[in-house]
Amino acid sequence: MWKSTFYSLFALAVLTALVAAAETRPNILLIVGDDMGYADVGFHGCKDIPTPHLDKLASVGTRFTNGYVTGPYCSPTRAGLLTGRYQQRFGHEFNPGGGKQGMPTSEKTIADHLKAGGYKTALIGKWHLGSEPEFHPQQRGFDEFFGFLGGAHDYFNDKGIVRGNTPVDEKEYLTDAFAREAEEFIGKQKESPFFLYLAFNAVHTPMQADDARLKKFAHIEDKQRRTYAAMMSAMDDAIGRVLAKLKATGADKNTLVMFISDNGGPTMPGVTVNGSLNTPLRGSKRTTLDGGIRVPFVIHWPGKIESGVFEHPVIQLDLHATVLAATGAKVPANFEPDGVDLYPHVSGANKKPPHDALHWRFGPQMAIRMGDYKLVRYDTTADLDPSKPKTISPAKLYNLKDDIGEAKDLAASMPDKVKELQAKWDTWNSKLAPPAWGGNPAAKGQGKKKGNKQQE
Catalytic residues: 74, 128
CA 279 – CA 309 distance, rounded (Å):
19
In angstroms, what CA-CA distances link 95 with 222, 241, 255?
A: 30, 31, 31
Helix axes 223-249, 52-60, angle to 10 degrees: 50
What is the rounded distance in angstroms from the CA atom of residue 246 to the CA atom of residue 54? 15
Q: State the sign of the Cα–Cα–Cα–Cα dihedral 126, 128, 132, 138.
A: negative
Exposed, middle or buried, 405 (CB in 10 Å: 0-12/13-18/19+)? middle
Grouping H, G, I as helix, E, B as strand and the rest as coil, residue 320 is helix
As to burial, measured by CB atoms within 10 angstroms (0-12 exposed, 13-18 middle, 19+ buried), residue 357 is middle
Separation between Cα atoms, residue 186 and residue 143, nearest integer Å: 14
Q: Which helix (H) or strand (E) holds 28?
A: strand 27-33
In the three-class reduction of DSSP (H, G, I as helix; E, B as strand; rest coil), residue 307 is classed as coil
Closest by alpha carbon to 319, among 123, 80, 61, 99?
A: 80
Q: Which residues pair with 440 in a beta bridge?
A: none
CA distance 306 to 300: 6
Reference 370, options 381, 357, 361, 380; nearest CA is: 357
H or E segment and range at residue 227: helix 223-249
Q: Do 65 and 310 form a contact (C-beta atoms < 8 A)? A: yes
Q: How far apart are CA 14 and CA 7, in angstroms?
A: 10
Q: In whole angstroms, give the CA distance from residue 171 to residue 158.
A: 7
Distance CA 45, CA 51 (A): 10
Lateral strand order in the sheet of 144-148: 166-167, 162-163, 144-148, 120-126, 194-199, 27-33, 255-261, 297-300, 62-64, 308-310
Phi first, then psi: give them for residue 12, nearest 5 degrees: -65, -40
C-alpha neighbours within 13 Å on the C-beta side of residue 157: 7
Amino acid at 265: G
